[in-house]
Amino acid sequence: MSNTLSSRNLTMLVDFYEYTMANGYFANGMKDTVAYFDMFFRRVPDGGGFAIMAGLEQVIEYLENLSFSEEDLELFRRHGFREDFIQYLKNFKFECDVWAIPEGTPIFPGEPLIKVRGPVIQAQIIETMILLAINHQSLIATKANRIVRAAEGRAIMEFGSRRAQGFDGAIYGARAAYIGGCSGTACVIDERDFGVPALGTMAHSWVQLFGDEYEAFCAYANEYPHDCTLLIDTYNVLKSGLPNAIRAFNDVVVKKGFRPKGVRIDSGDITYLSKKCRKMLDDAGFHDCKIVASNSLDEYIIRDMLIQGAQVDSFGVGERLITASSSPVFGGVYKIVAVEENGVAVPRIKLSENVQKITTPCAKEVWRLYDNWTGKAIADVLTLEGEEIDDSEDYEIFDPDYTWKRKIVTDFTAKKLLEPVFVKGKRVYPCYNINTIKDYCAKQVNTLWDEVKRFENPHKYYVDLSQKLWDEKNEMLKKANVK
């Protein structure tokens, strides 16, 4: 794991109300009050059937580096905060317990992605960074996974750095895209910091800088004969671009003992052009030369291109991936769910006239049930913390909203999804190589039924409550006269 945040003091990357509350908690003698918070999201972007968990590495780095500078403390003095609270921050030591669903895991609305238990001041002030890191990278990883699935095994290269919302959006977006399934990125810093393969060849400016297209191609081929991909749409793909590329391949690449790697098309009707290019390359004896496509692509365009017979071997996807432009918000929230009183976690619930905003109280576990015969995920179940699901026996699941919808699950394996990350402020979570996370993501997505992975009207994957948790929530709603 590359600690890319340690050189930047991001402790103050918070919403101000977190500190007005923290100062207030301190003033009211609640410094040591222990609270539980859940981070979860309410809706899958693009109306999809699932999302991809990403961003945990940056949350961990942030929590490991929490400290307050004199400049930070002086800011609070200017706002009139209590001096004893400021001294508490000066001697700050992170002491929370944190659990999280591993990066690369398919995730669903309503289930805790991160669970925090600890002194309420500490658990409160980390809200913004948890949401920022998980919301952004989960959004991009989810979009990337959709695009990768649309490509049906063809490589997707992340090309969006210059269109990202800021340099952090480019850097961490490329990381998330790789987790989601991309083969690499144009963003070189990601190879240095995370090990994401950096990919790319030339821009149109290379071609325009030389006297003619053939000369430009030969110059590039002379420098990179072992890895030669030529951009062929600067002037005219079929009349000059590809003919000049084939000529350069023969005159330079082949004569040096190599085979051309590919040609890239960045404009025009790529489906039509790719078919023509494929035939011309095959006729020239370059059956192994790949065709790369770019130009404002997304999962829908790629899917349609392939349906129409496009002869494209890989895709470079930029702005619509790095900004998740079709659905650019991942609506994660961070809510208190319990407060400890005399060592017992007493549930808290947030009510709302908007039913979707009513929270599920209590300290919880998240379980995923897998069918032993198919290996596919059946459903997720939220239980009370400490409650076990015995997969040696049949287990009844039910829709928490439409409780008459019930199913007896047999011959299954139950797995807890939340893993310990910090225990009393000390990190216990291992470092995972980015390729390990990416491979894990691909395997976990494969545990979902194809119906859940549809782009339009996906099958609903259920996140159910155990009977005990449902009873607890229902009782709290009754007491509040909410039905």
CA distance 290 to 262: 4
Q: What percent of the chain has pLDDT over 70?
A: 98
Q: Which residue is associated with the tokens 């790697």?
A: 261
Of the residues 257, 272, 307, the one at which a domain ends? 307
Is 452 a domain residue?
A: yes
Residue 266, domain CATH = 3.20.20.70
Is 316 a domain residue?
A: no
Please count the structural domains in the chain: 2
26, 34, 346 from 342: Cα distances, Å:
19, 10, 10
At 356 the pLDDT is 87
Residue 1's pLDDT band (cuts 50, 70, 90): very low
* Pair (334, 450) in one structural domain: yes
* Pair (378, 461) in one structural domain: yes
Six token digits for residue 147: 């695009």
Span 109-138, average pLDDT: 98
Is 183 a domain residue?
A: no
176, 206, 339, 381, 465 from 364: Cα distances, Å:
27, 57, 13, 10, 10
In tens, the pLDDT along 257-270 reads 999 999 999 999 99
* Pair (340, 409) in one structural domain: yes
Question: Which residues contact residue 375 at a Cβ distance below 8 angstroms, ignoring those fewer than 6 apart?
Answer: 447
For 334, list phi and psi in degrees, rounded to 5: -135, 110
* Pair (335, 434) in one structural domain: yes
3-state secondary structure of 179: helix
* Pair (394, 257) in one structural domain: no
* Pair (131, 273) in one structural domain: no
* Pair (332, 442) in one structural domain: yes
Name the helix (H) or strand (E) containing 412. strand 412-416
Residue 9's pLDDT band (cuts 50, 70, 90): confident
* Pair (228, 336) in one structural domain: no
Span 393-399, average pLDDT: 97
* Pair (341, 226) in one structural domain: no
Is 398 a domain residue?
A: yes
Is 235 a domain residue?
A: yes
Average the pLDDT over each of 106-110, 385-389, 475-479 and give the range with the smallest value. 475-479
38 C-beta neighbours (distance < 10 Å), count: 26
In tens, the pLDDT along 85-123 reads 999 999 999 999 999 999 999 999 999 999 999 999 999
In tens, the pLDDT along 175-189 reads 999 999 999 999 999
CA distance 167 to 176: 14
Q: Is the model's pLDDT at 145 over the cut of 90?
A: yes
Residue 480's pLDDT band (cuts 50, 70, 90): confident
CA distance 364 to 394: 21
* Pair (206, 278) in one structural domain: yes
Is 159 a domain residue?
A: no
3, 18, 25, 435 from 68: Cα distances, Å:
19, 15, 18, 34
113, 122, 208, 376 from 101: Cα distances, Å:
5, 21, 49, 18
Residue 112, domain CATH = 3.20.140.10
CB 391 within 8 A of CB 474: no
DSSP strand pairing (344-347 vs 364-371): unpaired
CA distance 356 to 371: 29
In tens, the pLDDT along 293-339 reads 999 999 999 999 999 999 999 999 999 999 999 999 999 999 999 99
* Pair (338, 441) in one structural domain: yes
**Enclosing domain of residue 248:** 201-288+302-307
In tens, the pLDDT along 43-69 reads 999 999 999 999 999 999 999 999 999
CA distance 179 to 198: 14
CA distance 82 to 19: 11
Span 208-223, average pLDDT: 98
At 354 the pLDDT is 87
280 C-beta neighbours (distance < 10 Å), count: 17
Mean pLDDT, the chain, rounded, equals 96
Span 121-148, average pLDDT: 98
At 6 the pLDDT is 62
196 C-beta neighbours (distance < 10 Å), count: 26
Of the residues 253, 277, 307, the one at which a domain ends? 307
* Pair (249, 343) in one structural domain: no
Is 461 a domain residue?
A: yes
Is 297 a domain residue?
A: no
Six token digits for residue 446: 């494969």
CA distance 56 to 36: 18
In tens, the pLDDT along 343-354 reads 999 999 999 888
89, 369, 374, 450 from 412: Cα distances, Å:
48, 6, 10, 19
Residue 4's pLDDT band (cuts 50, 70, 90): low
